[in-house]
Amino acid sequence: MNKQTNSDLAIEARALVKRYSAEVLAVDRVDLCIQANTIYALLGPNGAGKTTTISMLTTLLKPTSGSARVAGFDVVQQAARVRQRIGVTFQEMVLDDELTGRDVLDYHGRLYGQSRAERQTRAAELLALVELQDAADRQARTYSGGMKRRLELARALMTTPQVLFLDEPTLGLDPQTRTRIWEYIRNLKEQSGLTVLMTTHYMDEAEALADRAGIIDLGHLVIEGTPGELIAQMGADTIRIVGRGERDTFVAQIRALPFAQTVTTGEDVIQIGVDSGSRRLVEVASLATTSNFVIEDVSMTKPSLGDVFLKYTGHQLRDTASPVSPNGASIWIRK
C-alpha cells in the first residue's frame, strides 16, 4: 500500500481554483508540490482557503479550474483511486458517536472493503496507538474531545493510507493531548512513510511538526518553505514595539534604517527584523523621540513562524473570519 508511484510527489496541485460564486473566490491559483514522506503544514487565517484546498484534494469538491494529483492520481478523473489511498480528518468533529470506538473503525474498514480479519487486527493496533484500548467498547459519545479526536485519527489511518489529510487536527484540545497527537503524527511519518498535509492555526504546531509550511491568505499561497527558511528570512532577531503617537513617521524612519531587514506593522505592534537585537535596540528607540512616538512597551525575540505569518497575512492569529469564503462546514450542507 505504501509503495510510491512513479513520481515522488505525493501531492501536486497546479493552478488550483475554486470559485463558489461570482463574488466568492475561495482558492485562487494555488500550486502545491508536496514530497512523499513529508509533513506539510498549510497555514492561514480563517477563511483563507485552507479547507477548500483540502476539500478539492480529497475529492469532496471539484476544482473550478486547475488540476491536482494525489498519490499519483488525478483528483477529478481518478477520484476513486485517490479515495482508496487517502485518510482524512475533518475540521469539525465527524463521528457517529452512538457507535463504540471499535465499531467506528470497523464500519469504516468495511466501507473500504477490508476483510473482517484485517479490520480486527488493524482496529486493535490503532486503538493501542492512540491509547483508546480501555474505551474501545464504549459509545464514542462518552469520550472527551481529545479522545474523539484520537479516534478520528485512528479512523483516518484504518485503511493504511499513503496520504493523510488533517484539517486542524488539534483544534480546541488541551496542551497534553496536542503534544500526544503531534507524537503520533511524527512517528507515523517516520515509521510508515506517510505523507501528511495538515492545516493549522497554531504556529507552534507547524514549527514542531512540519517539514515544510505554506502560508495561504485570501485564496493565494503567499509563501512556502521549511519553517527554518521562513523564519530565517525574518532576520536574526525581532524587535517588537508597542506605543502611541506619530506611528507612520516612526515606521517610515525605521524602514530607512540600513539594518532593518523587515518591518511589519500589526494592529498595535511594530515588528522589526534586525541582525542583532541587542545592538540595534537603542538606535531604534532613539528614533522614537525624533518622530514624536511614545514607546510603551518594547521586547526582543527570536522570530517565530508566527512573525512570518503576521508579515505575510497582516492578520494577527486570532479568529477573524474573512468574508472571502464561507466556512468549510456549510459547503456540504446546502439548501
Point out which residues bind other proteins (CB under 8 A): 58-60, 62, 80-81, 83-84, 86, 88, 90, 92, 94-96, 98-99, 103, 107-108, 110-113, 155, 329, 332-335
Element containing residue 295 per DSSP (H, E)? strand 293-301
Residue 42 or 305 with smaller CB distance to other proteins? 42
CB of 86 to other proteins, least distance (A): 7
Nearer to other proteins, 94 or 252 (CB): 94
What is the full DSSP assignment across 160-190?
Answer: --SEEEEESTTTT--HHHHHHHHHHHHHHHH
CB 163, min distance to other proteins, A: 12
116-129 vs 101-111: helix crossing angle, rounded to 10? 130
Measured from the CB atom, the residue of 92 and 190 that comes closer to other proteins is 92
Of the two residues 91 and 249, which places its CB atom closer to other proteins in the complex? 91
* Contact status, residue 39 vs residue 18, Cβ threshold 8 Å: no
CB of 64 vs other proteins, minimal distance in Å: 13
Q: Which of 248, 272, 269 is nearest to 318 (CA)?
A: 269
Closer residue to other proteins in complex, CB, 32/164: 164
In the complex, the smallest distance separating the C-beta of residue 77 from other proteins, rounded to whole angstroms, is: 15
- Are the beta carbons of 232 and 302 closer than 8 angstroms? no
Helices then strands, counting H and E runs in the chain, come out as: 12, 14
In the complex with other proteins, the residue whose CB is nearer, 62 or 244, is 62
Only one residue has cell 477520484, namely: 79
Q: Where are the beta strands (DSSP E) in the chain?
A: 9-19, 25-35, 39-43, 65-70, 73-74, 86-89, 163-167, 195-200, 212-217, 220-225, 237-245, 262-265, 269-274, 293-301
* CB-nearer residue toward other proteins: 108 or 189: 108
Please give the backbone phi and psi of residue 147, each rounded to the nearest 5 degrees, phi first. Answer: -65, -40
Q: How far is the CB of 23 from other proteins (least distance, A)?
A: 20
Q: Strand 25-35's sheet: what is its strand order?
A: 25-35, 9-19, 65-70, 73-74
Provide the 8-state DSSP code for 44: -
Minimal distance in Å, beta carbon 280 to other proteins? 50
Q: How far is the CB of 158 from other proteins (least distance, A)?
A: 11
Of the pair 137, 268, the CB lying nearest other proteins is at 137
Closest contact distance (angstroms) between CB of 62 and other proteins is 8
Distances (CA, A) of 180 to 37, 56, 116, 155: 20, 28, 29, 17
The vertex-20 CA angle with 210 and 48, nearest 5°, equals 30
